[in-house]
Amino acid sequence: METVITKALYETALLRIDELLPLVSEATPLDDPKCVELCHFSDIVEGYEKEHYPIPKPSFNETIELRLKEAQMTKKTLAESIGVSPSRISDFLSKKAEPSLSQAAAICKVLGIAPSIALQI
């Protein structure tokens, strides 16, 4: 039987996690009652947040923008790397155009993006 996670249970779990965190460390054995309780309440919080506060997957263009920033790479550099114009990269980022499959694969390779993100799977 699955427990229904109410907002009240979620809030109680958050408070108990705050109490338990200072008492549990990496050195605490996994079978320690405090560690077991912390895991239990963490599961409650995770379940509630997955249902009520889902985090959507980023779009391909959002991922490209993020990776450009992380790699400190310009649109011009990316464009040169995959053989398109910088304005074409801008079109991809603004969703005015979609990259072809080969362009998406090249972008993924250059920026280290998982192909599943480009394919939105």
For residues 69 and 96, membership in a common domain is answered with yes
40 and 88 assigned to the same domain: no
53-81 pLDDT, tens digit each: 998 888 899 999 999 999 999 999 999 99
Total number of domains constituting the chain? 2
pTM above 0.85, yes or no: no
Query: Do the Cβ atoms of 20 and 34 come closer than 8 Å?
Result: yes
69 with 113, same domain: the answer is yes
Let me know if residue 111 belongs to a domain: yes
One digit per residue, the tens of pLDDT, for the chain of length 121 reads: 677 889 999 999 999 999 999 999 999 999 999 999 999 999 999 999 999 999 888 889 999 999 999 999 999 999 999 999 999 999 999 999 999 999 999 999 999 999 888 887 6
Range of the domain at 48: 7-52
